Every structure is written in C-alpha cells, then in structure tokens.
Amino acid sequence: DMANGAKRKAALKILKKTAGAVGAVALATAAVPPAAMAAKKVAEVVEVVDNTKTIVTAGAAAVVAGGAVVALKGGSGKQDFLEADPYWDQSTVPVNVYKNKAPFTGKVVSTKRIVGPKATGETCHIVIDHKGDFPYWEGQSWGVIPPGVREKDGKPHAVRLYSIASSRYGDDMSGKTGSLCVRRATYWCPELKADDPAKKGICSNFICDTKPGDDMMMTGPAGKVMLLPEED
C-alpha cells in the first residue's frame, strides 16, 4: 500500500507539471485559454482518483488534448493578425463601410438559444460568416435590415443596430465571422393574456428565427464611442 501510495503521488506530481506546461504552451503560442483551463481541470479531478493507471491515462489525455488545441490554433503563430500597429491606433477603425442603400450580405452560420427553459424571454447567439470582408473592432455595432416592408407605408424596414458580441476575430478566431446576442422582443397583451404577434419586434424576431445558410442584410460597423481609449 505504501508503494502504491508513493506511485500515485509521483504520477500526480508529473501530471500537474505536464498539465501546467500544456496550458502555458497553449497560452504562449496560440492565446488559447481553454487549453490551460482544461489542463487545470484534469489536475483537479485526478486528485480524487485512487488508481495510478487512471491518473497516468488522464495525464496522457491532457497532453494530447493540449497539443491538439495548439495545433488547431496554428502552432507557434500569434493570434494578432487583425491588430492595429501600434495596437491602440484608431486611425484605421472601419466605420460605416456598408450603408443602407448598399448593405453587406452576411451568411448565418448558427443560431442558438442561450437561456434556460424557465427564463423570461428568449435570447439567442447568432454567428454570421462575413468571409473577412466586414471587419470591425470590439465595441462597435452591426446594423441589421429585416426583410420585407412596413405595413403603414410599404417602405423597407429601417436598420436596427446591435452590439457585436464577439471580438474582431470572431468566436472561431478566424477573423471571418462575428456574433450577435439578441433578445427576442415580444409584447404581452393583458387582454389576450398572450403575446400579441402584431406587436412583436420585427428585427429581433427575424434574427432569432434565422437558420444556418440564411442571408442577413447588414450595415456598419457603426460607432467609435465604445472603443477602448488610445495610448493613454
């Protein structure tokens, strides 16, 4: 038992060092926090494992997973290809590149509900593919033009602005996608005791109802007010 205990301690010590190394390499080479977090979780979990073989196997899995993440994110390449030079220089911030009369057509990659079943209302996370042709900075907004026309005058719907939820690299860190988090706007009618479809938000419902492959007419990026301050 004493020998087995010594083996377990030795295996755990090696695993912790390996997990830490994997996280450090991932952060240094590809700026991938999930790799470090995964390695840390493995180290935490194996502390309650009594079998040396299981610990060693878990350690090997951590190394493989960490290495896969680093390889996926480009090995030793840095995730800074969209940064300004110097990073705080705002002279190249794109503003209103696409306008109402000549909007950009984005392609919906995914639309997912991100609140629980008992939440009041519905909020969705929408990933949009722009192929790198619609760059933006953190703190800016995208405009979305819902399809169709207004009932009152037959004119196209006005653009609605939504804060961009992802960094300039997108959720996939490719620099070719961007994300919105949109709450579906509804109106509860006390007389009907139900949502009144005639008063629902035109654009938010369009966005939350999109499916992969759908087109989205977009404007912007808009705004410089919410950008991080320059050098000082």
Decide if pLDDT at 67 tops 70. Answer: no
Greatest mean pLDDT among 23-32, 78-87, 181-190, 191-200: 181-190
Q: Report residue 51's pLDDT band, with 50, 70 and 90 as the boundaries.
A: very low
Cα separation, 67 vs 14, in Å, equals 17
Q: Is 50 exposed, middle or buried (0-12, 13-18, 19+ CB in 10 A)?
A: exposed
Q: Report residue 194's pLDDT band, with 50, 70 and 90 as the boundaries.
A: confident
Q: Report residue 10's pLDDT band, with 50, 70 and 90 as the boundaries.
A: low
Taking residues 61-86, report their average pLDDT.
54
What share of the chain in percent tops pLDDT 70?
Answer: 64
Higher pLDDT, 138 or 1: 138
Taking residues 87-95, report their average pLDDT.
86
The residue with tokens 């090696």 is 14
Taking residues 13-26, report their average pLDDT.
49
Cβ atoms of 111 and 126 within 8 Å: the answer is: yes
Q: What is the pLDDT of residue 226?
A: 76
What share of the chain in percent tops pLDDT 90?
Answer: 43
Can you give the three-state secondary structure of 63-128, one letter per residue?
HHHHHHHHHHCCCCCCCCCCCCCCCCCCCCCCCCCEECCECEEEEEEEEEECCCCCCCCCEEEEEE
Q: Which range (66-75, 110-119, 143-152, 154-163) has the least confidence?
A: 66-75
pTM of the model: 0.63
